[in-house]
Amino acid sequence: MFDTREPKTGPGPSPKPKTPTPTTPPRPLKANQQRWERTFRGAAKGVTFQLRIIRRPDGHLTARYQATPGKGSGWHLEGQLRDDNTFTLKGTENNAEFQGKISPDGKTVTSSFKNQTLSGSFQAPSLTLSAIPVSLPPTRILITGATQTPSVENAKNAAHTARIERSEVSQSVISALNSSTYTPKTMVKKDRHEVFFNIVKSFRSLGVPHPELIAAQWATESSWGKSHSGKNNVFGIKEFDPTKPRTFAPTKEWDPNLQKLVEKAEPFADYKDYADAFIARANFTIDNPRYAKAGYFEAKNLKEAAYAIDRAGYANTGDPGSYAESLISIMVGCGIDVEKTATIAVAPPQPQLSAEGNRVAQSSVSPDQLDRLINLKSYKKIYTIKEINLARSLISKIQDDKLKGDLFEILQTKVPYRNQRNNQSIGLQSDRWTYKGRDGKTHWAVYTGKPIGDIMCNLTSLAMVLETLGIENPSSGQYEDFLENVRRKNSLSPRTTEGGWAGVARQLRARKTMHKEKFRGDYTEWKEEILPYIRNGNGVMMSLNGHIVRLQSVAEHGITVDDPYGRLPSLLNYSPNNVTGSYKGNLNGKTKETGVGEDTIFPWIQVSKFTFHWIAAFERS
């Protein structure tokens, strides 16, 4: 149920002596009887494509593509490279098809793309993909005072390189990795935990971030060491290159068409020893750019890292957040504080070498379509308010409505996230009310004289909506606290009412353009009735009945929201009478702005069965 590895990246080959430029045209790629792997990236119609192609000497192509927004783990393709460098790649798991041509130097792919799904047809008739010199996120290592690693020498090496090559790892660490046993003597807690912390120690010796999280992955993927998906493969890593050692093994994966988990045989990588397996897992999140995009390397603690690796699509469960929760449960069960700030430092990566041996500039991930529009040189996950306004200004000048909508959809994903639970506002006398509890009795909720962050989802979501519109926080404090002061100063209705939050929006020069009551629908209905507001650049927030969130996107896989309170495991388990209990402990902290509620995905199997109390859209006055 786990995704495929991207091509290996890192420093290029050693510099070669310069040779005269050939005067004859380069030979067609197919004429070169060699095997090669390349990754290409490009964008069309608001979708960023990444296409990894593996070419065999006979010209057969094996490939895998990812589309953002789209399914995290990507789709497998097979095809053939012809003598004129043209090719056709067809999906083996879906109806996708690429038809195009690879430039003779192998640096560019020009292609068309089409795919037919249950929700309709998508076509990109003109798609240009460029070969990417995949640059790497920095490797994090333990700072002074952290737990001693088996090899200080190797830890120093890890500080100066992103990708780990076995030849660079000291023999003492290799021996330690292979001499340890990764199968508990028994399944009692003591024996299981002994192996768990042995794995933590192993990954620390490699200078890898979040070693406790990876140990939790070992426990999940191998059932605490009882099973291997491939030879010495205890991390469930797949291998789609038929020329490399692999084992087909049964697994369960989410089928978006059938909307359920299905059992299938998938190819899992074989490793000659445990050292290779551990190094492969260490490199896995580096080789796949989507982990950097999901915030895995920026995570401040293990809980954030768990949700980041879930968002990036390590496990194809069809239930967003469930994989993160299983990893968190394992770590907590081993006595680990998953919310403790990680004691790690970021070391700068070494410059890469091009194929000619020249140094090339580094960036974490190639810029997307909107990044390029505002002249950013690398991908940026979250924009500043100035960048949001610049983007909105440039998008508004575009005449093509389709392109304009695509860019506004991307912009919605780059709005800063706000955490309601660290708000500083103090409750007034009016911040008290009665409610009927689950026991049938009447109870008092009293916030008078206390911090009211836990009941400020409305204004916190509104703050994100206003920033979507490019309306800057006029104060030096938190935006939502400023909005609460605006409400009080203007004697507006309670923040829990439409008169309250909509009145505050008007004071900030934003007006409501849409309000739907009791909305419920499938993907088609959301695409027709809600998505147009997102594509028009509106800010959208909605009520679950008792709790308010910002809507970020509507896509084939489901809806994405920024939940200021935390990460709700399932819409179907949400209870207005027990909002906090519905989160099952997945709440934001109270000391910082980040939180686990960012980029929460609800699949259509949940959304289509849930009635939203109301949905409202805003635009600038």
Same domain, 192 and 80: no
Q: Give mean pLDDT, residues 258-283.
A: 86
Q: Residue 541: its pLDDT value, please?
A: 97
Same domain, 125 and 147: no
Looking at per-residue pLDDT, the higher value among 504 and 48 belongs to 504
Asked which of 44-53, 209-218, 516-525, 545-554 is least confident by mean pLDDT, the reply is 44-53
Give Cβ neighbours of residue 15 (< 8 Å, ≥ 6 apart): 353, 356, 357, 358
Other CB atoms within 10 Å distance of the CB of residue 15: 13
Residue 258 lies in a domain: yes
Q: Residue 140: its pLDDT value, please?
A: 32
Give the CA distances from residue 575 to residues 89, 124, 453, 548, 610, in Å, rounded to whole numbers and listed in that order: 47, 42, 20, 13, 11
By the 8 A CB rule, do 532 and 519 touch? no
Q: pLDDT band at residue 356, thresholds of 50, 70 and 90?
A: very low
Residue 179 lies in a domain: yes
Residue 394 lies in a domain: no
Residue 515 lies in a domain: yes
Q: Residue 516: its pLDDT value, please?
A: 96
Q: Residue 20: its pLDDT value, please?
A: 42
Q: Residue 481: its pLDDT value, please?
A: 93
Same domain, 429 and 319: no
By the 8 A CB rule, do 312 and 291 touch? yes
Beta strands in 331-399, from DSSP E residues, in sequence order: 344-346, 352-353, 359-360
Share of the chain above pLDDT 70, in %: 83
pLDDT at residue 565 tops 50: yes
By the 8 A CB rule, do 347 and 159 touch? yes
Q: Residue 349: its pLDDT value, please?
A: 33
Instruction: Classify residue 561 as left (phi > 0), alpha (psi -120 to 50) or beta.
Output: beta
pLDDT at residue 155 tops 70: no
Q: Which element (helix H / strand E) includes 105?
A: none
By the 8 A CB rule, do 586 and 417 touch? no
Q: Which element (helix H / strand E) includes 285?
A: helix 274-287
124-145 residue pLDDT tens: 888 888 876 533 333 333 222 2
Q: Residue 593: its pLDDT value, please?
A: 82
Residue 428 lies in a domain: yes
Q: Which domain holds residue 444?
A: 415-620
Q: Residue 366: its pLDDT value, please?
A: 67
Q: Residue 36: its pLDDT value, please?
A: 75
> What is the domain-level CATH number for residue 96?
2.40.160
Q: Give mean pLDDT, residues 257-266.
A: 78
Q: Residue 471: its pLDDT value, please?
A: 96
Q: Give mean pLDDT, residues 329-343.
A: 81
Torsion of CA 253, 257, 259, 260, to 10 degrees: -30
CA distance 517 to 494: 19
pLDDT at residue 241 tops 50: yes
Pairing mode, strands 432-436 and 359-360: unpaired
CA distance 116 to 95: 6
pLDDT at residue 32 tops 80: no
Same domain, 203 and 150: yes
Picking from 331, 348, 365, the residue at the C-terminal end of a domain is: 348
CA distance 40 to 367: 13
Share of the chain above pLDDT 90, in %: 31
Asked which of 455-459, 483-487, 559-563, 600-604 is least confident by mean pLDDT, the reply is 600-604
Same domain, 123 and 145: no
Mean pLDDT rounded to a whole number for the chain: 80
Q: What is the DSSP string of 397-411?
A: T---HHHHHHHHHHH
Q: pLDDT band at residue 161, thresholds of 50, 70 and 90?
A: very low
Count of domains for the chain: 3
Asked which of 7-16, 323-332, 438-447, 555-564 is least confident by mean pLDDT, the reply is 7-16
200-220 residue pLDDT tens: 887 887 778 888 999 999 888
Q: Residue 94: its pLDDT value, please?
A: 81
Picking from 348, 366, 393, the residue at the C-terminal end of a domain is: 348
Same domain, 234 and 124: no
Can you say whether the dihedral through the CA atoms of 132, 133, 134, 135 is positive or negative?
negative
HSE-CB for 209 with a 13 A CA cutoff: 32
421-480 residue pLDDT tens: 999 899 888 887 676 666 778 777 778 888 888 889 999 999 999 999 999 999 999 999
Same domain, 491 and 608: yes
H, E, C per residue of 430-491: CCEEEEECCCCCEEEEECECCECHHHCHHHHHHHHHHHHCCCCCCCCCCHHHHHHHHHHHCC
Q: Give mean pLDDT, residues 96-122.
A: 85
